[in-house]
């Protein structure tokens, strides 16, 4: 980690601060930041004592090697393509892309430029998930037959509003399948599998969950993915008000391994399948394989340290990271096609192999999207109920909250 410093910039001064704080721990140096919200930009710029830009194109001209994209969730692909074409390595927050056309374009840009691209998906690197991967790779539970990934994050309405400023903010529109990576990526990482097809069902947004909300998108949904080894993964989330829970469970043909909240790990074997001396069931708190002191201080169960770490190493080693553009695009495709499936009552969709030019070509003009920026004739809704109009009371309340945090938009 003491090798030549990699100069990095960050767009998005909310979540982006996680990278800003952790950059130095992985041999990176924060040199510039960018955000259109000028008050926040200036405040964060003063704190980190770095150059500030309100304009992304000008920011990209700053003398640096890499950028971290922590701008709006559904806007990452065009920002990534611009940065790659400007000769910069990219680490992008989730999701990688909001349309199938963007997935294909992003893959093309990485292949053309040869720059490092990494999805900044941190949940696979939580302590429990890393241990599940280690256990799985020993062969102890056999080959995965079935797995469950759950990321359900209920949100109290005023807090939700405070992190979703603006009627068009992505958090107000996001259908439940789009934020799939926290539930799916750890399972892919543990078992080294890729999704090849899916079916999905959404829970129609009921206003009883938050009667006075400006949120349009449904709160919860289930995706069934067929993986490339024939196994089935069930992916569940995103914002049902029932319980905040992060859970991974991998069922092999010789046992089961699971982790709750990315910490404690449980490994189970039926009595007749265990090896001599092996317990039927064991539950334990794993140790970090390395860098435990730095990981323990980082957010999201240490995951925020490891995404920075792997990005920096990928740049130094000139080798694409595990969460490369093909896995990133496959997960984005699960998000998008998952929502298509929900709107067609669980219809199956095949997920293209983004490594194949021929397989991704048919998607080059597929701009299907439920987001408000893409509004137009035939646009799909963000809820099974259609794009319900929030009440005047809900809008007035939301604007009061947004004003209180200094948001000047509508
Ligand atoms: N991995 C995780 O654990 C985790 C946690 C929180 C957020 N996120 C992700 O981080 C991203 C940012 O989320 P957030 O919570 O900070 O909220 P957010 O999406 O509201 O913040 C985005 C920031 O980007 C800025 N921005 C948007 N468009 C811009 C543009 N064209 N030029 C310059 N700046 C622009 C906004 O002003 C805002 O400050 C999202 O993709 C989200 O999914 C990931």
Q: Is residue 340 part of a domain?
A: yes
Residue 219 contacts by C-beta under 8 Å, 6 or more apart in sequence? 176, 203, 205, 209, 238, 239, 240, 241
Ligand 1 mean position to 323 CA, how many Å?
20
Asked if residue 225 belongs to a domain, the reply is: yes
How much is the pLDDT for 289? 85
Ligand 1 proximity of 122 Cβ (cutoff 6 Å): yes
The full 3-state SS of 237-289, as one line of letters, equals EECCCCCCEEEEEEEECCEEEEEECCCCEEEECCHHHCCCCCCCEEEECCCCC
Tell me how far the alpha carbon of residue 101 lies from the centroid of ligand 1, in angstroms. Answer: 22
If asked whether residues 104 and 221 sit together in one domain, one would say no
pLDDT for residue 9: 98
Q: Whose CA is nearest to atom 8 of ligand 1?
A: 15
Contact 110, 325 (CB under 8 A): yes
Specify if 409 maps to a domain: no
Whole-number Å distance, alpha carbon 168 to ligand 1 midpoint, is 14
The reported pLDDT for the residue numbered 171 is: 97
Assign residue 19 the CATH number of its domain.
3.40.50.720
Which single residue is written with the structure tokens 């999704």? 195
| Ligand 1 pocket test target in 9, 10, 15 with most atoms within 8 Å of CB | 15
Q: Is the CB of 304 under 6 A from ligand 1?
A: no
Asked whether the beta carbons of 305 and 22 are under 8 A apart, the reply is yes
The tally of domains found in the chain comes to 2
Give the distance from CA 409 to its chain's centroid.
Answer: 26
Q: Does any domain span residue 405?
A: no
> 14: CA distance to ligand 1 center in Å?
6
Q: Where are the alpha helices (DSSP H) in 8-126?
A: 17-22, 38-48, 56-60, 76-85, 100-113
Residue 397 lies in a domain: no
- Residue 138 is assigned to a structural domain of this protein: yes
Nearest CA to ligand 1 atom 9: 93
> What residue has token string 């990934």?
149
pLDDT for the residue numbered 315: 98
Q: Can you give the length of the chain in residues?
A: 410
For residue 73, give the ligand 1 atom closest to its CA.
41
pLDDT at position 207, please? 57
- Specify the pLDDT at position 212: 75
Number of neighbours of residue 375 by Cβ within 10 angstroms: 11
- 140: which 2 tokens? 């102890």
SS3 218: coil
For residues 271 and 207, membership in a common domain is answered with yes
33 and 136 co-located in one domain: no
CA distance 339 to 335: 6
Q: Whose CA is nearest to atom 11 of ligand 1?
A: 70
Residues 115 and 128 in one domain: no
- Choose one of 79, 101, 119: the last residue of a domain: 119
Dihedral over alpha carbons 346, 352, 358, 362 (to 10 degrees): 40
Answer yes or no: do 187 and 226 share one domain: yes
Cβ atoms of 271 and 280 within 8 Å: the answer is yes
Q: How far apart are CA 395 and CA 322, in angstroms?
A: 42
Per-residue model confidence (pLDDT) at position 210: 58
279: domain range?
124-295+324-374
- CATH number of the CATH domain containing 257: 3.30.360.10
Token couple for 68: 């971290």
Q: Is 391 a domain residue?
A: no
Q: Residue for token digits 């990576």?
A: 181
pLDDT in tens, the chain (410 residues): 556 799 999 999 999 999 999 999 999 999 999 999 999 999 999 999 999 999 999 999 999 999 999 999 999 999 999 999 999 999 999 999 999 999 999 999 999 999 999 999 999 999 999 999 999 999 999 999 999 999 999 999 899 999 999 999 999 999 999 999 999 999 999 999 999 999 999 998 765 455 678 999 999 999 999 999 999 999 999 999 899 999 999 999 999 999 999 999 999 999 999 888 889 999 999 999 899 999 998 999 999 999 999 999 999 999 999 999 999 999 999 999 999 999 999 999 999 999 999 999 999 999 999 999 999 999 999 999 898 889 899 999 999 999 999 999 99
Q: Are 38 and 159 contained in the same domain?
A: no
Q: How far is the CA of 56 from the centre of ligand 1 (A)?
A: 14
Distance CA 286, CA 80 (A): 35
Per-residue confidence (pLDDT) for residue 3, from 0 to 100: 61
Quote the CA–CA distance of 95 and 77 in Å, as a whole number: 9
**Residues 281, 283, 287: CA angle, nearest 5 degrees:** 135
130 and 108 in one domain?
no
CA 93 to each of CA 2, 63, 178: distance values in angstroms, whole numbers, following the listed order: 25, 22, 13
Domain presence at residue 312: no
Are 224 and 342 part of one and the same domain? yes
Query: 80 CB under 6 A from ligand 1?
Result: no
- Tell me: do 128 and 114 sit in the same domain: no
The reply to whether 181 and 157 lie within a common domain is yes
> CB of 218 closer than 6 A to ligand 1?
no
Print burial letters for 95-131: b (CB count within 10 Å at least 16), e (below 16).
bbbbbbbbbbbbbbbbbebebbbbbbbbbbbbbbbbb
Give the separation between CA 410 and CA 407, rounded to whole angstroms: 8
102 and 172 share one domain: no
Query: Which of 14, 393, 7 lies closest to 210 in space, CA to CA?
Result: 393
Whether 70 lines ligand 1, by a CB cut-off of 6 Å, is: yes
Cα angle for residues 353, 356, 361 (degrees, 5° grid): 95
Same domain? For 179 and 60 the reply is no
CA of 79 to the centre of ligand 1 (A): 12
Nearest CA to ligand 1 atom 26: 71
Cα-Cα-Cα-Cα dihedral of 110, 114, 119, 124, to 10°?
130
Return the residue matching tokens 């704080």: 21
């Amino acid at each position: 980690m003491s090798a030549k410093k990699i100069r990095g910039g960050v767009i998005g001064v909310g979540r982006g601060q996680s990278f800003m704080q952790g950059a130095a721990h992985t041999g990176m140096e924060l040199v510039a930041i960018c955000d259109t919200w000028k008050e926040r930009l200036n405040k964060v710029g003063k704190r980190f004592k770095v150059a500030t830009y309100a304009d992304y194109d000008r920011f990209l001209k700053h003398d640096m090697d890499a950028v971290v994209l922590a701008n709006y969730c559904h806007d990452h692909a065009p920002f990534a393509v611009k940065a790659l074409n400007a000769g910069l390595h990219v680490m992008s927050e989730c999701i990688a892309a909001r349309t199938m056309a963007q997935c294909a374009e992003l893959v093309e840009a990485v292949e053309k430029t040869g720059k490092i691209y990494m999805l900044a998906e941190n949940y696979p690197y939580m302590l429990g998930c890393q241990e599940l991967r280690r256990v799985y790779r020993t062969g102890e539970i056999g080959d995965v037959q079935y797995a469950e990934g759950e990321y359900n994050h209920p949100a109290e309405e005023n807090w939700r509003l405070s992190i979703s400023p603006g009627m068009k903010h992505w958090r107000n529109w996001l259908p439940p399948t789009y934020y799939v990576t926290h539930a799916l990526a750890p399972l892919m990482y543990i078992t080294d599998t890729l999704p090849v097809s899916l079916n999905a069902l959404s829970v129609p947004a009921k206003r009883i969950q938050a009667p006075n909300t400006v949120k349009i998108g449904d709160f919860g949904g289930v995706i069934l993915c067929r993986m490339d080894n024939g196994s089935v993964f069930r992916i569940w989330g995103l914002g049902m008000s029932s319980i905040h829970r992060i859970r991974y469970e991998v069922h092999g043909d010789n046992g089961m391994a699971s982790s709750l909240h990315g910490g404690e790990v449980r490994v189970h074997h039926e009595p007749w399948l265990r090896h001599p001396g092996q317990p039927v069931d064991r539950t334990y708190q794993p140790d970090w394989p390395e860098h435990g002191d730095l990981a323990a201080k980082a957010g999201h169960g240490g995951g925020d340290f490891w995404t920075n770490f792997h990005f920096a190493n990928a740049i130094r080693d000139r080798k694409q990271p595990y969460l490369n553009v093909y896995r990133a695009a496959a997960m984005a495709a699960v998000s998008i096609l998952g929502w298509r499936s929900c709107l067609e009552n669980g219809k199956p969709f095949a997920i293209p192999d983004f490594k194949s030019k021929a397989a991704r070509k048919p998607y080059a003009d597929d701009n299907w999207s439920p987001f408000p920026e893409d509004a137009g004739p035939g646009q799909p809704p963000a809820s099974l109920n259609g794009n319900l109009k929030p009440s005047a009371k809900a809008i007035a309340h939301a604007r009061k909250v947004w004003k209180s945090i200094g948001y000047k938009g509508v």
